[in-house]
Amino acid sequence: MSDKLNPGRDLLILGGGLVGMTLALAAARKGISSHVVDRADPAELTAEGFDGRASAISTASWNLFTNIGLADTLEPHGCPIESIAVTDGMKPGRIDFRPERHEGTLGRMFANRTLRLTLFEAAKDEKLITWHSKANIVDRQRGEHGVSATLEDGTVLRASLMVAAEGRGSPTREEAGFTMAQWDYHHRAIIIGLVHEKPHEGVAWEIFYPDGPFALLPLLDDEEGRHRSALVWTVAEKDADGVLALSDRAFLHEIEKRMHDIMGDIELKGSRSSYPLGFQHTARIIDHRLALIGDAAHGMHPIAGQGLNLGLRDVGALVDVLTEARRLGLDPGDAQMLARYEQWRAMDSLMVMGATDTLTRLFGLPGILASAVRRFGMAGVQRMPSLKRWFMDEARGVSGDLPELLKG
Ligand SMILES: Cc1cc2nc3c(=O)[nH]c(=O)nc-3n(C[C@H](O)[C@H](O)[C@H](O)COP(=O)(O)OP(=O)(O)OC[C@H]3O[C@@H](n4cnc5c(N)ncnc54)[C@H](O)[C@@H]3O)c2cc1C
């Protein structure tokens, strides 16, 4: 296909995952056009069992989905997070983050599949988005006046600004030579759905064990009224294959030991899958006519459920900056506007990444002394309403200089 059939667009978004596709939609709502290129087949990405994860969507991210017109479709599928219980291995001295009723919830849990289906459905109907799926990029160019990507079939896509949204392994970021700070936690997150006897009452549990955090995240009841939660169990890399290979019965037994009967009898729902865990961060997130967003810019431990939320804040900031550029009659790839995007995101991203890494390390320290110190610290937080409020605002994503689209 020649590029005549593919008119130049404002944005060339490489990677149409949760962050890339949200950017395309949010930009389109402001009249900004894009090509979205993803190597994957959307039918596979949304197939039952492809991505069995569920994501905690913060209040600010929910505002973004609302402001781009997705709330009506998503609302019936989201399970409110009424409170978060944090415990050191279920020993006494836990912290309960429970906002007052008038303050609203701490976010909502959504199956990633639901988020993807909703975004893809909305993108299909949006004239300002041209979606190229199952497309492999063989060449990327960033010139003085614009950018382009050539697909395997010879199609050339042109735009003013290239956005790398290809997740952790972003080839666009690598090609552009960004330097990453990165390390491996030597842990893997094992995920699976659970059906349980007792209602979860909207509580998200973070139970820290020395061998890794064990999170139970509330989901809506299924069609038969059975109570459901999503499990994210972090295990050492050396144990991961063994845990994945356990029979269902043995796996269930291991989970039950760690759940201390908080949900009564449990059953497994769906199959297990796993994700290697590492930290990666780049201070620079722009280059000539290029911006990084989402996991392409920052990949973190899922312990605090912040990765996607941080990526959605990138989306909000970039759209704000692009809208401002448009108002001033500037090119979307304008260097000063991009510098504003980088500056805006730098502190938030560093804070969230740093806090998540510290939490991961702090709760991973073995031994009775480390546990005693942790529980002492947790008891302190539990007694300090102002500190608890600060943590809750962070979980909601409502602190700091919020982009327009993330405001309620
Ligand atoms: C177990 C687990 C639980 C999590 N829970 C939460 C949570 O509760 N809340 C939260 O906020 N975050 C959570 N996260 C983090 C969150 O899942 C990620 O931050 C988020 O999915 C990143 O989205 P993304 O679109 O940036 O990248 P990705 O989801 O990696 O998407 C990248 C897209 O780019 C495409 N792509 C890749 N390479 C190319 C290429 N060369 N050419 C074209 N396309 C390409 C891929 O096909 C894909 O569609 C969790 C992560 C894990 C591992």
Q: Which tens digit of pLDDT belongs to each residue from 173-193? A: 999 999 999 999 999 999 999
15 close to ligand 1 (CB < 6 Angstrom): yes
Handedness of CA 229, 231, 232, 233 (dihedral sign): positive
Instruction: Print burial letters for 91-123: b (CB count within 10 Å at least 16), e (below 16).
Output: eebbbebbbeeeeebbbbbbbbbbbbbbbbebb
pLDDT at 1: 45
Whether the pLDDT of residue 277 is over 70: the answer is yes
**Which amino acid is it at 389?**
R
Cα–Cα distance between 174 and 340 in angstroms, integer? 22
Beta bridge partners of 115: none
Sheet holding 54-57: strands in order across? 54-57, 108-111, 79-80
pLDDT in tens, 195-233: 999 999 999 999 988 888 899 999 999 999 999 999 999
Provide mean pLDDT across the span 11-40. 98
Evaluate whether 89 touches 207 at the Cβ level (below 8 Å). Answer: yes
- 7 band by pLDDT with thresholds 50, 70 and 90: low
How far is the centre of ligand 1, averaged over its atoms, from the C-alpha of 250 (Å)? 30
pLDDT at 6: 63
> Which atom, in ligand 1's list, is nearest to the CA of 306?
11
Distances (CA, A) of 176 to 152, 173, 291, 344: 20, 5, 11, 21
- 2 band by pLDDT with thresholds 50, 70 and 90: very low
- 324 band by pLDDT with thresholds 50, 70 and 90: very high
CB count within 10 Å of CB 251 equals: 18
Whether the pLDDT of residue 365 is over 80: the answer is no
Q: Using alpha carbons, select from 333, 349, 310, 292 the residue that is nearest to residue 14.
A: 292
Residue whose CA is closest, atom 41 of ligand 1? 171
Cα–Cα distance between 355 and 82 in angstroms, integer? 23
Cα–Cα distance between 300 and 304 in angstroms, integer? 9
Query: What tokens were used for 255?
Result: 């989970």
pLDDT in tens, 119-173: 999 999 999 999 999 999 999 999 999 999 999 999 999 999 999 999 999 999 9
> Which atom, in ligand 1's list, is nearest to the CA of 19?
25
> 7 by DSSP, 3-state: which?
coil
Whether the pLDDT of residue 274 is over 50: the answer is yes
- 285 band by pLDDT with thresholds 50, 70 and 90: very high
Distances (CA, A) of 263 to 29, 153, 194, 369: 42, 53, 10, 29
- 360 band by pLDDT with thresholds 50, 70 and 90: confident
How far is the centre of ligand 1, averaged over its atoms, from the C-alpha of 171 (Å)? 14
Provide mean pLDDT across the span 385-403. 83
What are the domain boundaries of the chain?
A: 3-77+112-182+280-364+376-406
> Which atom, in ligand 1's list, is nearest to the CA of 20?
25
> 5 by DSSP, 3-state: which?
helix
Handedness of CA 397, 180, 302, 391 (dihedral sign): negative
Q: Which of 308, 356, 396 to mutate to test the pocket of ligand 1 (most atoms within 8 A of CB)?
A: 308
Domain 3-77+112-182+280-364+376-406 in CATH: superfamily? FAD/NAD(P)-binding domain (3.50.50.60)
